Structure 1
């Protein structure tokens, strides 16, 4: 059986007469009594310079961190760790949960012990931040906010803006949320994802409580999502249900895509999507409304291609040879997270938010004579 640590341990505070950076390098960590709650982000940031200088640590998952993804746990406990560093630690097996290797997407349970390897990073607090850059980011976030209350923000994410960082990605929503950190050190948290080139409704939690509650909402399929897409051709069956298994595969060019698989195939996960044809432009193009029941990677894009009607402008899944893009329509992904409906995390009724068409889709809708106000038949699709 694996032994469980009593709780997170913090290094001693530096001597008042010595510079903080030098003291952090010389001070040996001291032990303190276990605490029941996770430290606030402000507390973590205040002591990160010392924590990152320590050796192996054993951290106990608090009640607030129950069901938190491992990568989010590391981001919360160690704000200075980069996305790539977190992924590397997990990939190499240096991080263990109750003595076992884990994946960055695995979810933690209260009371589990997380082994953190030695971390040697310079404090980022010493790096000056541009106040103008922060002001510009704040103004940008305000300009794309569709809904906000004390617990939840719904952003209208532009197409082309990544939600999270990754290899070669320096500008993304998660990074921008730093400017919304409140006085207690709480930074708004992502609770679901959109592909970089997908526009529309992106839900953000303003507290750890809201994040945990909303995460359960998405996992239990209690959130209703509606997407709009422009596809090549028009499905013969005007309303239908697509049910397949999807698994990740590597294409000949080294790119990774989701492909239809068989039950039992390595990595195959069940994916279900309802669709309805809203309007058509002859038989050349169709406006589809899509309601995903599950939330698999690239699910809507892979399913649209699977039924023979790939989404216009999709560089990964458009699979019709010699298909010519109609004049006036931009070769960009025509996929919008149009609407999100979900219960408020504190039981304050229902949040129901819709996003407008992004500029390139607005241009296509105008050209094709499609009307936003047209009745959307996907509302009749059953819940599963």
Structure 2
């Protein structure tokens, strides 16, 4: 594989090998541009300076074997000795020789990045002595959850399992259902939200910007189709607990779709009702009420259908228990 030379910055080219096939572009570059800050990697992708087979690409573009990745001039620092990050195990829902399913707590990013030195994958690698003699040989995220979302997260222990599982996510062969508490009384007949989403950046004050998402019209050329299925699970005084199944996996899809319907998620600090959020914090809700509750997928080795469930964490259960139920059932 071609590498970016150290010393004087110049344009470099990276050729994707078989082991890297299927990876996201951002993860591919972070792995190969050792010494380049992750914030800079994301900046050159967003600016369009990174090209895949001479075409523009985004951070979530999947690279394939043989792809030629153009990298603009970057100064690669001499690599400092590796410092192991904090080691942490997470509650296990399933583990075998092919994959790990954990119940991710809220407040923990799935990976290190801008402003986050260590996420789930780095902490788990440290705990499993990844890359060390006798330690884990392979650990990669299959998919992602927002930092403030709790619930089921899959990690592959083999490259073959990673490719198989990611293909299922891309082809919409998985079943992903979340529990979300929204403000107000959700209409019983509102069961499908089919509205395109568009990602954009707002000025973060330091040049990098902050990623946001909004609903756009169906004829918007920048819109990505997004489909969300909604089922009322329970009605509370002033809230509705929903089972939300996503048929597409767009960034912030559930948060933006529910907010666009006039019922933002309780505690959502990006798309929610900020004044209500302040009041909810005083009432005990210190986080966004969104939990990855159920995941269905085909096991990459034996072909059996797997269903995993992660109960609501205690802080969310306690918040629900503090609210009155309506006198009539849903």
Q: TM-score, normalised by structure 1?
A: 0.71
2:63 counterpart SS class: coil
The CA distance in 2 between the partners of 1:310 and 1:61, in whole Å, is: 41
Which residue in 2 is equivalent to 1:39?
none
1:290 aligned to which of 231, 241, 244:
244
Residue number in structure 2 paired with 1:205: 156
CA RMSD of the aligned region, Å?
A: 3.2
Distance change (3 Å), C-alpha of 1:369 and 1:342: farther
Q: Residue 366 of structure 1: CA displacement?
A: 2.5
Q: Report the count of equivalent residues.
A: 315
Greater Cα shift, 268-277 or 326-335? 326-335
Q: Which runs of 5+ in 1 are unaligned?
A: 1-7, 11-49, 371-376, 378-384
Quote the offset at 1:74 in angstroms. Answer: 2.3
The match for 2:298 among 339, 343, 347 is 343
Bigger CA drift: 99-108 or 244-253? 244-253
Summarize the Cα distance change of 1:326–1:74 in structure 2 as closer, same or farther, 3 Å threshold.
closer
Alignment of 1:309-328 (within 5 A): 309-319=263-273, 325=280, 328=283
Give the Cα separation in 2 of the matches to 1:71 and 1:57: 16
Tell me the residue number matched to 2:97.
Answer: 150
Of 109, 113, 119, the residue aligned with 1:166 is 113
Contact 2:228 2:248 (8 Å CA) reproduced: yes
Give the Å deviation of 1:367.
1.9
2-side partners of 1:278 and 1:203: how far apart?
25
Instruction: Specify the alignment match of 2:175 in structure 1.
Output: 224
CA distance in 2, matches of 1:92, 1:311: 32
1:214 corresponds to which of 159, 165, 176: 165
Decide which moves more: 336-345 or 59-68.
59-68
Output aligned runs, 1:243-254, within 5 Å: 243-248=194-199
Residues 167-206 of structure 1: CA deviation (Å, up to 9, x unaligned): 2222322322432325587341112111111111111111
Contact 1:328–1:367 (CA<8 Å) still a contact in 2? Answer: no
Deviation per residue, 1:255-311 (Å, 9 max, x gap): 6532221023252111111111111124x1211111011111111111112222211
Give the whole-Å Cα distance in 2 for the aligned partners of 1:328 and 1:112.
52
Is contact 1:156-1:202 (8 Å) kept? Answer: yes
CA contact (8 A) 1:84 1:167 kept: yes
Q: Which residue is 2:256 aligned to? A: 302
- Summarize the Cα distance change of 1:348–1:85 in structure 2 as closer, same or farther, 3 Å threshold: same
CA distance in 2, matches of 1:165, 1:287: 31
2:123 is aligned, of 176, 194, 202, to: 176
Structure 2: give runs of 5+ residues left out of the alignment.
none
TM-score of the superposed pair, with normalisation by structure 2: 0.82
Rounded to whole Å, the distance in 2 between the matches of 1:89 and 1:303 is 29
Closer, same or farther in 2 for the Cα pair 1:193/1:363, shift >3 Å?
same
- Which residue of structure 1 lines up, in the alignment, with residue 214 of structure 2? 259
CA distance in 2, matches of 1:221, 1:232: 29
Query: CA separation in 2, counterparts of 1:251 and 1:84?
Result: 16
Aligned residue for 1:311, secondary structure, equals coil
Aligned counterparts of 2:149 and 2:121: Cα–Cα separation in 1 = 16
Q: For the residues of structure 1 that align with 2:36 and 2:115, how far apart are their CA atoms?
A: 16
| CA distance in structure 2 between the aligned counterparts of 1:56 and 1:326, rounded to whole angstroms | 49
* Counterpart for residue 311 of structure 2: 356
Quote the Cα distance in structure 2 between the aligned partners of 1:56 and 1:269. 32
